Amino acid sequence: MRKGLIHGVLAVLAAGALAACSPGGGTAGPTPTGTASSGTPSASAPPSTPATPTVPPDVETTQPAPSPPLESPLGTVPGQGNAELAIVVTPSDTESAINYTLVCQDGVPASESKHPTAEAACTALKNQPSILNPPGRSTDRACTQQYGGPQRAMVTGIVDGTPVEANFARTDGCEIAAWNAAGDVLGPTGGAL
C-alpha cells in the first residue's frame, strides 16, 4: 500500500511539472485530484488550482506607459540661487542674436545683470537649478513631433558652483517643454513669437 501511495504522489507531481513546462503554462485543464495514474486514491495529492491568466507582452492596454523621470546632475531641490550666466537667444535664422548677462546672489539679481526679467530668472534658478540641465535625448523617450518655432538659445556659465552649458530649441515636444521650463532664464524672447 505504501509503495502504491508513493507511486501515486510521484505521478501527480510529475503530471503537474509537465503541465507547468508545456506551452500555455499548464492551462490545458485541471489535473484530477485524489487519484494517481494507477487509479488508486491518493490521500496526499494537493487539489489543483486554476491557472491565473496573464496578458501577453505584445497586447495593448488602455493605460499609457509612465513618463520617464527627468534626471539632472543638479537635482530638483531648491538651490542657493548663485549664478553667473551668459545667455544667447536667436529668435530666427534671419534675426540677430540677443545677448543677456545674468548674475544672481542668493536668488537676487546683482547690479551687473543685463537681463530684462532678472528677478524672475534668479528666482527660477534658486527654486530649481536643474532647469538649465534638460535631460539628454534618449532612445526610450517619446517626444511629440510638433514644431514650436525657430528660436534657439545657448546658456553657459555656473549655477551654484556647477558648470552649465545648455542648448535649447523648439523643434519637438521634449525641446519645447525644456524651453518652457527655462523660460524665465531665457528671457521674454524665449516664448513663441
Buried b (16+ CB within 10 A) or exposed e, 116-153: ebbebbbbbbbebbbbbbbeeeeeeeeeeeeebebbbb
Which pLDDT value is given to residue 79?
Answer: 83
Instruction: Return d(Cα 17, Cα 31) in angstroms, integer.
Output: 11
Taking the whole predicted model, whether its pTM rises above 0.75 is answered as no
CA distances, 141 to each of 16, 109, 121 (Å): 43, 36, 28
Which pLDDT value is given to residue 158?
Answer: 94
Which pLDDT value is given to residue 86?
Answer: 96
Residue 37: Cβ-neighbour burial (10 angstroms; 0-12, 13-18, 19+): middle
Average pLDDT per block of 10 residues along the chain, 193 residues long = 55 54 50 49 54 56 47 57 95 92 95 94 92 72 82 94 93 89 84 43
Which pLDDT value is given to residue 55?
Answer: 54
Taking CA 36 as the corner, what is the angle to CA 30 and CA 42, rounded to the nearest 5 degrees? 100
